[in-house]
């Protein structure tokens, strides 16, 4: 190895330089596996408050409003996306951004345990509904604050050729654990006692597991910034963001495309409601949906990671958008045709596969097309803009309550088809197009 390095560099490497390189390599490996461990535990913990299964089931005991259930189901995305651009003005100029992530970690741990405690010790329906909405909203908004730092760590600490693998392992292992241990634990806890204590135990287990994941990420070593970003006020940051949208056509087109793809989550909170109201599934069968969701996540992660490495992240987004079309098609099919109820479970696997593809392909693609010096501004602006289509969830719920499932998913089908057409026109940098070596 030494001879190869010296040959490549055209000069011998000193002992001090070699030791330094070894330390850097060790830190990179530690960061990689700490980040992977963080994602595994955090995603596993969040399966205990899944927006497609557990939360709609819990909320259906507290309210009959599809609109409200739809809104709460989008907190995960809105909370992650919306705060990032305002938060970027506070941290982008700082050489060390981890303090904000650690603050986000502390707040999320307190909120999750508090939510679980209230559910365990109170049976007041009104109080539970208020605490659920407020706690989850604040929990996911805090995740958005940490998201600014996560995107920076993802870009600085994980090498480009390992990014899709990094995300894939995090989500795949979490999916396997969620489909086995998670689904079993949730089903067992839900059947162990009466409402709402059974859900309280589920949320408590989720709080313990997700907290471990947050702490893994909080101890990662943050690499130094190679380019210093100037400090800006929020107003100056907004002006800069507006300028980027005007002058960078590739970034502007990608934002438009992701806004269309961002309509996909609008239908997710209602999948369980459809299974319960239209097909007669019971709360005791929720483990089947969770298992299906996780199996879809695991299988798709392997496929998306492979595609990202051998082809491009654009390819991942294309195939994900094509698969997304199946969800409204299947809902319409089950509403109008006599289809076997058992087959409905596969929809949760498809939804998880699409969500995974948008995450793996979308996060890596935005880093590919953004310059390093203004990366925080680009990624934060991109993420915050993605929150706005999800805010339409209230309208989606109202449409469902007024006109039914077929009307809602017919509209989502039209947007899904348009999204496919937009994704096909995305640009790819030459160095990210074609087969790439993993290491």
Segment 312-357, tens digit of pLDDT: 888 999 999 999 999 999 999 999 888 888 889 899 999 989 988 9
Question: Could you report the per-residue pLDDT of 204-215, keeping only the tens digit for each?
Answer: 999 999 999 999
CA distance 297 to 224: 33
pLDDT at 4: 42
Mean pLDDT calculated for residue range 4-28? 58
More confident residue, 110 or 170: 110
Question: Could you report the per-residue pLDDT of 46-98, keeping only the tens digit for each?
Answer: 889 888 788 888 998 898 887 788 788 778 878 888 888 877 777 776 767 78
HSE-CB of 102 using CA atoms within 13 angstroms: 9
pLDDT at 16: 58
CA distance 129 to 135: 10
Question: Could you report the per-residue pLDDT of 360-393, keeping only the tens digit for each?
Answer: 888 788 888 888 777 778 888 888 887 777 777 7
Q: Which helix (H) or strand (E) holds 435?
A: none
pLDDT exceeds 90 at position 25: no
Contact in structure between 400 and 408 (CB atoms under 8 Å):
yes
pTM (predicted TM-score)? 0.69
Q: Which residue ranges make up each domain of the chain?
A: 33-432
pLDDT exceeds 60 at position 5: no
pLDDT exceeds 60 at position 280: yes
Question: Could you report the per-residue pLDDT of 179-201, keeping only the tens digit for each?
Answer: 788 888 988 898 888 898 999 99
Closest CA to 424 of 264, 260, 262, 301: 260
pLDDT at 168: 75
Mean pLDDT calculated for residue range 285-289? 79
Helix locations, 370-404, DSSP H: 375-385, 387-390, 393-403
pLDDT at 6: 46
pLDDT exceeds 70 at position 436: no
pLDDT at 432: 47
Q: Which residues contact 373 (CB under 8 A, 6 or more apart)?
A: 227, 229
- DSSP secondary-structure letter at 223? P
pLDDT at 318: 93
Contact in structure between 65 and 401 (CB atoms under 8 Å):
yes
Q: What angle do CA 374, 366, 143 make, to 5 degrees?
A: 85
pLDDT at 438: 32
pLDDT at 227: 62
More confident residue, 148 or 95: 148
pLDDT at 172: 78
Model confidence at 132, in pLDDT bands (50, 70, 90)?
A: very high
SS3 425: coil
How large a percentage of the chain has pLDDT more than 70?
89
Q: What is the mean pLDDT of the chain?
A: 82
- The CATH topology of domain 33-432 is Growth Hormone; Chain: A; (1.20.1250)
pLDDT at 221: 79
pLDDT exceeds 60 at position 217: yes
């Amino acid at each position: 190895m030494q001879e190869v390095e010296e040959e490549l560099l055209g000069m011998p490497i000193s002992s001090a330089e070699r030791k330094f390189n070894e330390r850097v390599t060790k830190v990179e490996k530690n960061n990689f596996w700490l980040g992977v461990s963080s994602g595994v535990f955090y995603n596993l913990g969040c399966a205990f408050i899944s927006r497609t299964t557990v939360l709609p089931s819990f909320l259906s005991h507290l309210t009959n409003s599809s609109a409200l259930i739809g809104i709460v189901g989008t907190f995960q995305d809105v909370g992650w996306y919306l705060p990032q651009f305002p938060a970027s003005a506070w941290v982008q100029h700082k050489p060390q951004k981890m303090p904000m992530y650690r603050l986000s970690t502390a707040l999320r741990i307190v909120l999750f345990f508090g939510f679980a405690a209230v559910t365990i010790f109170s049976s007041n329906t009104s109080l539970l509904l208020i605490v659920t909405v407020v706690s989850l909203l604040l929990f996911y908004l805090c995740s958005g604050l940490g998201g600014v730092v996560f995107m920076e760590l993802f870009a600085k600490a994980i090498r480009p050729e390992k990014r899709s693998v990094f995300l894939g392992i995090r989500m795949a292992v979490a999916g396997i654990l969620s489909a086995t241990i998670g689904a079993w634990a949730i089903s067992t806890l839900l059947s162990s006692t009466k409402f709402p204590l059974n859900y309280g135990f589920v949320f408590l287990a989720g709080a313990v597991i997700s907290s471990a994941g947050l702490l893994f990420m909080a101890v990662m070593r943050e690499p130094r910034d190679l380019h210093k970003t100037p400090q800006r006020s929020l107003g100056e940051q907004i002006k800069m963001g507006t300028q980027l949208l005007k002058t960078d056509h590739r970034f502007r087109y990608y934002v438009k495309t992701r806004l269309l793809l961002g309509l996909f989550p609008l239908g997710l909170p209602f999948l369980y409601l459809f299974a319960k109201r239209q097909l007669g599934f019971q709360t005791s069968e929720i483990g089947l949906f969770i298992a299906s969701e996780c199996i879809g996540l695991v299988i798709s992660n392997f496929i998306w990671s492979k595609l990202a490495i051998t082809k491009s992240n654009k390819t991942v987004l294309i195939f994900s958008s094509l698969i997304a079309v199946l969800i409204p098609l299947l809902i319409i099919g089950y509403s109008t045709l006599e289809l076997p109820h058992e087959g409905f479970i596969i929809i949760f696997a498809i939804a998880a596969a699409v969500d995974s593809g948008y995450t793996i392909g979308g996060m890596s693609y935005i880093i590919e097309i953004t310059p390093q010096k203004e990366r925080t501004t680009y990624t934060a602006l991109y993420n915050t803009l993605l929150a706005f289509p999800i805010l339409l969830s209230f309208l989606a719920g109202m449409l469902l309550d007024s006109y039914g499932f077929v009307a809602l998913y017919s509209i989502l089908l039209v947007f899904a088809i348009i999204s496919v057409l937009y994704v096909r026109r995305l640009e790819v940098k030459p160095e990210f197009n074609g087969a790439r070596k993993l290491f």
